Amino acid sequence: MPNTRLNITLPTPIVDDIKALYGQRGLSQFLEEAAREKLDELKKKAHKGLIEGYQSTAEETKEVLKKFESAVTEKRDV
């Protein structure tokens, strides 16, 4: 996967803590992992909202589909 070089600004205490845990060269790795975790969390929330929305209208959708099915399957004189 290609990488993009960024120039970002973070509070010094945060950078110092990351470097203490991950080393001088671990900053990028930490930020990548943190970004992935945050994106996964946001995607799960978005998907959960969609699922809840679909579930809340499921019964109404079933009723509409039943009416549509009977209209389509009726024999008609042509």
Q: pLDDT (tens digit, 9 = 90+) per residue, 27-45?
A: 999 999 999 999 999 988 8
pLDDT one-digit tens code per residue, 54-72: 888 888 888 888 887 777 7
The torsion region of residue 23 among left (phi > 0), alpha (psi -120 to 50) and beta comes to left
pLDDT value at position 32? 93
pLDDT value at position 33? 94
pLDDT value at position 9? 96
Contacts of 18 (CB under 8 A, 6+ apart): 26, 27, 30, 31
Q: Tokens 């010094």 map to which residue?
A: 12
**Mean of the per-residue pLDDT values of the chain:** 86
As given in the structure block, the two tokens for residue 41 are 């969390």
Find out whether 64 and 52 touch, Cβ atoms under 8 Å: no
pLDDT value at position 76? 60
E runs forming strands in 29-71: none
